Amino acid sequence: MKAIYYTLNLCNIDITQKLIVAEIWCPVSDLTLVQSALIKGSEQSGSSVTPVLNRIQTQQTPPTFNRTNTFTEGFQAIIDAYGVGTYQEINPAPYTIVTFPFLFAVMFGDCGHGLVMTLFAVWVTSQAESLRKWKNEVLNGIKYVVIGGRYIILLMGMFSIYTGLIYNDCFSKSFNIFGSSWSVRPMFHPHGPWQNETLHEYHHLQLNPFVPGVYSGDPYVFGIDPVWNIASNKLSFLNSFKMKMSVILGVSHMLFGVALSLVNFVHFRKFQDIFLQFVPQLIFMLSLFGYLIFLILYKWCITLRSEMAPSILLLFINMMLFDYQSEHVLLYRGQKGVQIFLVLTAVLMVPVLLLVKPFLIYRTRMKTRHQVGEQSRATLSQEQYMLSTHSEYGSPYLVSMGDIFVYQAIHTIEFCLGCISNTASYLRLWALSLAHAGLSCRSTCTVIKQTARSVQRITASDLLLVFFMFSFVCAVYEDTYNDQEHQNVFYIFYFLTFPSF
């Protein structure tokens, strides 16, 4: 009843005709439902006046309305927490349904932990109605968050199982389903250099892939070879793999956001921004960070001895510094010329982003002033005389050239520096993945040791507390990837959402 009276207070009363007049925003597809609801309410109240619903023409920009259901409302809430897009702007929520749980799973790749999350989400989904009726003053806030995000947790758990299979990690242990590509037996005499005494003399032994039979020559069928689980240099291998994978996923995620900005420009018919904003941004990112992905993939594909393989980090730093000394190893012929061209191209895109668009606006204004005489200029409306721009706040207003240059400078600096900082930010995928692997390994070893010694019991609540705390941290970080690093390249979020009754 409070909501009804609050809504009635927003209406106007026509005393002469004894009517209540209200101006509302309504989705066009729901006009028939609104009309039928008004008629039904009028009949039930016994009113003799037939309600009238008219569509009014207005210059105001409508509020943003994104229709959701029980599955998508949680993901839409994540987007709206970052900011509401302008009217008819592309909604990133459908893509977030995939990217949010996937990037979470990159940090939280574990079959066992993913299975726990999936089973928990399945239980919450099946018991959602009964959990809503359950009342507890302490846990009410947590209850509504868990129920509202049950499908998010479900997808995060399922994606964690998938990435856990790729990492071949289940509670810090690996599965040898398809058989390892490495074998220890050929390293022993007579085929190899090892003797039985070798195992007693050395604590660490290294497999030699050049000994026949040690390495089959074919990679593991799916995921990481289980032999790495017992290798002493496991951390070094996973460090390199996950760090490069994080860069590839991060840059691809940002490039996808830049591509979505093209959809907005085409829809709003801002064809000028396609050539002055989208194309320079795309060239800038591809020249630097797209080339970085190429270096990573190319180094993976070519066959180089480990001691001869150049460092991607040093290659990229030397590329930016134009440092091409003879001692630096290059990946391919002509690399110096290609890298100089790419760096110069990226640098040239900065003044294009910074100056060309404000200069064209200034030129358009000066052309308008010369075409219009003094007398006719006085008769023209202010909107016709000066170039009116449509702000991200949804209302047209007149701005000076100084404001336009400052606005363009802020966005150019934000984009160029953001490409660097956001790429570095995506390395948290690698950092948290390694942290989870280390924590999982330590927890598993602790449970096994303490259970075997019967010194202290580790309760299930202790393990679940650590598990959910780390999951929460991963989810928070993943939210920043979708919001800050991905959406800020195409998403204008200074708008208001449609508050339905």
User: Do 96 and 12 share a domain, yes or no?
Assistant: no
Residues in CB range of 166: below 8 A, 6 or more apart: 109, 222, 223, 224
User: Do 421 and 469 share a domain, yes or no?
Assistant: no
What are the pLDDT digits (tens) for 104-139?
899 888 888 899 899 999 999 998 888 887 776 656
User: Do 335 and 467 share a domain, yes or no?
Assistant: no
Alpha helix segments (H runs only) across 192-311? 198-201, 234-267, 271-273, 279-285, 291-301
CB 78 within 8 A of CB 493: no
Alpha helix segments (H runs only) across 137-222? 140-148, 150-167, 198-201
Q: What is the mean pLDDT of residues 425-454?
A: 72
pLDDT score of 445 more than 60: yes
What's the whole-model pTM score? Answer: 0.80
User: Do 387 and 472 share a domain, yes or no?
Assistant: no
CB 389 within 8 A of CB 397: yes
pLDDT score of 391: 45
Q: What is the mean pLDDT of residues 409-432?
A: 87
Q: What is the mean pLDDT of residues 458-478?
A: 54
User: Do 290 and 396 share a domain, yes or no?
Assistant: yes
14: three-class secondary structure by DSSP? strand
Q: What is the mean pLDDT of residues 256-277?
A: 90
Distances from the Cα of 36 to the Cαs of 21, 39, 47, 48, 55, in angstroms? 17, 5, 15, 16, 15
User: Do 290 and 359 share a domain, yes or no?
Assistant: yes
User: Do 225 and 330 share a domain, yes or no?
Assistant: no
CA–CA distance, 82 with 278 (Å, rounded to integer) = 23
pLDDT score of 273 more than 80: yes
Is 189 a member of any domain? no
Is 501 a member of any domain? no
Query: Comparing 129-138, 248-257, 429-438, which segment has the lowest mean pLDDT?
Result: 129-138
User: Do 321 and 401 share a domain, yes or no?
Assistant: yes
Residues in CB range of 209: below 8 A, 6 or more apart: 215
Is 36 a member of any domain? yes
- Buried (b) or exposed (e) across 81-120, using 16+ Cβ within 10 A? ebbbbbeebbbbbebbbebbbbbbbbbbbbbbbbbbbbeb
User: Do 287 and 408 share a domain, yes or no?
Assistant: yes
Alpha helix segments (H runs only) across 268-400? 271-273, 279-285, 291-301, 312-321, 335-351, 357-371, 374-379, 382-385
User: Do 326 and 390 share a domain, yes or no?
Assistant: yes
Is 194 a member of any domain? no
pLDDT score of 427: 86
CA–CA distance, 81 with 452 (Å, rounded to integer) = 47
Is 209 a member of any domain? no
pLDDT score of 449 more than 90: no
CA–CA distance, 496 with 431 (Å, rounded to integer) = 36
CB 214 within 8 A of CB 182: yes
Say how many C-beta atoms besides its own lie within 10 A of residue 437's C-beta.
19
Q: Tell me the residue range of the domain where 20 lies.
A: 2-45
The single-letter code of the amino acid at 253 is: H
User: Do 318 and 359 share a domain, yes or no?
Assistant: yes
Number of independent structural domains in the chain: 3
User: Do 99 and 8 share a domain, yes or no?
Assistant: no
Is 186 a member of any domain? no
CA–CA distance, 313 with 107 (Å, rounded to integer) = 22
Q: Which range scores top for mean pLDDT: 197-201, 204-208, 225-229, 494-498?
A: 225-229
Pairs from 200-206 (Cβ < 8 Å, separation ≥ 24): 204/232
196: three-class secondary structure by DSSP? coil
Is 250 a member of any domain? yes
Is 190 a member of any domain? no
Q: What is the mean pLDDT of the chain?
A: 79
What are the pLDDT digits (tens) for 327-342?
566 788 888 899 999 9
pLDDT score of 387: 42
pLDDT score of 396 more than 70: no
Compare 32 and 458 and report the one with higher pLDDT.
Answer: 32
